[in-house]
Each structure stands twice: as C-alpha cells, then as structure tokens.
Structure 1
Amino acid sequence: MPRGSSAKRERQYEHIKDSARDRGESEKRAEEIAARTVNKERARSGESRTASRTSTRDMSSSKRGGQRSHTGSQGPTKDQLYNEARQRDVKGRSTMTKAQLSKALGH
C-alpha cells in the first residue's frame, strides 16, 4: 500500500488479499490483485495524485463484482463474447447475437 493511505484502504487491501488467497491465488498474485483494486478505487475517489483514464472511466471494481468470472447462470456477457471474437478476428461479429457469438467461439 502507498504511504499515507487511509485506514479504510488498508482494511480494503487486506480483505481483498484474503479473499484472493481463499480462492486459491498465490500470495504474490493476491497482493497484486488487492493493490490494483485499491489503487483503482483511490483514483476513482480522487485520493491519488494521478489517475489513468481507464481508472476513472471504467466500471468500478465493486460494481463489476465477478462479471468477468464466467460463472454466472448465463455465462459470459455479450460484450465479453464480442471482445473475444474481436481478438480472434471473427468475421461478421458486429451483427451477431449473443448465441451466435457463443457458437462462433465454440462456447
């Protein structure tokens, strides 16, 4: 944690790190996840001197809450499937439905 961070952010860091360890992450990876999350929250709330554009404009960590885990009852979101299709250069992806994207990606 950065010097001068609040007690709240320290608690948040420890909680996130413990949660990551409980999910089976290594100590080093758990610390990285916790630090990135807390730093992003600090940037969003104006507690840091500098903040990247993605830190301030992206969906907050608490709101995201596992959307990227693909463990929901309906699987990945259409946006997630679209981004994966874009990375794989799937042709015609912009007009595909969620089901079509899923099928094209072999999900």
Structure 2
Amino acid sequence: MPQGDKDKYTDKQKRKAEHIEESYEDRGVSKDEAERRAWATVNEQDGGGKKSGSGRDD
C-alpha cells in the first residue's frame, strides 16, 4: 500500500484516483500497482494535494 496522507486531496481528486485505479484493475494490473499509478497520475495532472488558489506558484 502506498504511503502518504490523502487528507489534503480534494474529494474530486479522490474520486478521480478511484476511477483511474478501477480502470487499471480492469486491465489486469494488481490492486497495489493500480493504486500507486492512480495517485501518481492525480499528482501529475493536479499538482498533488494542493488546494486550488490563485493559480500561481510563488
């Protein structure tokens, strides 16, 4: 099971990760690997557990 606290993610990000994970599992990827890939995808697309703000990274 991947490490990390998922509390900082939005509900939308959590749902997105769940759908991505299910998609990987449907293609025969193991549960642990599917979960790892799903969160890696969410992090890459959304910038991790950051809350949206002004849209600027200072």
Normalising by the smaller structure, the TM-score range is: 0.5 to 0.7
In 1, Cα distance between the equivalents of 2:36 and 2:11?
Answer: 19
SS of the residue corresponding to residue 6 of structure 2 reads: coil
The one-letter amino acid paired with 1:30 is A
Scaled by the length of structure 1, the TM-score of the pair is 0.39
Q: 1:23 — aligned with what? A: 27
**Aligned residue in 1 for 2:7:** 3
Whose radius of gyration is greater, 1 or 2? 1
Q: Which amino acid aligns with 1:43?
A: G
- Amino acid of the residue matched to residue 18 of structure 1? E
CA RMSD of aligned residues (A): 2.0
Task: Show the counterpart of 1:32.
Answer: 36
Structure 1 unmatched ranges of 5 or more: 49-107
Q: Which runs of 4+ in 1 moved over 4 A?
A: none
Identify the structure with bigger relative contact order (alpha carbons < 8 Å, sequence gap 6+): 2
- Unpaired segments ≥5 residues, structure 2: 52-58
Report what 2:56 is aligned to.
none
Q: What residue identity is the alignment partner of 2:47?
A: A
